[in-house]
Structure 1
């Protein structure tokens, strides 16, 4: 029994040094009509289908999400981006071009960029998502599900992982359209963030180290005894 106790103690100490699993940091589908965590541009919008989203994001407006990232080493951010009505991507319509696109930009404030792409709904326009020169609505996971007329709507799903280095992390979501929201805008939905915790726990006490080493010694001793008792039939 003592041998099992030592072995169990050693394995428990080893297990306590493993990284913690992913933890939920933020989740909002906006159906509860709350913009908690967000500041700046955007409010709750009800689409013609009845679905709620954060919008309308247009004309350089930026919505900023603040996350509690204390004790985390990285965060995975996922969200649905809606391109709504006559977003014109890289043109040529709507006064848009590669130099003046209807783009959407996501980035960590003071950190890396996560997304900088143009999207188009209007037939004949191109977009640079997923690649430069793509036809309108290329790569969309769903089309015309929100009930908008005037070229409809397209849904794009994204998931991006980045390192964090502080107690709070801010994510900016910026819409670069050049027409009024009666013509075109972007929206956000199903925003979620999960984090990976830093390796936790304190350095073991000397007595704990002794117990762990004894456990390793026990494992080695058992293996040696077993090896010494193997016999071969004549």
Structure 2
């Protein structure tokens, strides 16, 4: 029996996953949590085989930070990131944090079940496109990391950079910093200009290298 812990800030999502997974003969949802800190506490208490971890949770500890901390304290538990983002950058960051893989919330039920079985058996769950992007990022496809220009960023731009790298949307960032979405976009544009970057994946790789997420390359 594969014991599973669900960590997602949406109760409806957790309920749907619980119904789905408990219907699988060799799987059982043993607990639920609505944010990262609670997820860590429940994992330490229940020692599940697999944790399904939401990536973006606006309240409490986010999925990547929780994954990084949980792997240090419960190394044998496999962590599978659940996300609505289809960019390969999120898989790269999840692996860096210690996750065994990443599944889209829009994926078919069969894919989720296969992914859980795979990571429970000690394997990584990667699809072809994500693997290609992961290798490109790991081998240093970003040629200019902007390391000499970090000091040019304002404190607010550094905050925005960190939240972007953690997977938050412009709306989520605005809510956390109590600024408008338009202001978030302005800060993002300014910091990209200063760092001489053009894409979100470049910002994520840079943030990892700078150790802005608490874990790095």
Give the TM-score category using the shorter length: under 0.3
Which has more helix, going by share of residues?
2
> Quick one: higher RCO (CA 8 Å, sep 6+), 1 or 2?
1
Which has more strand, going by share of residues?
1
The normalised TM-score by structure 2 is 0.23
The normalised TM-score by structure 1 is 0.22
**Structure number, greater radius of gyration:** 1
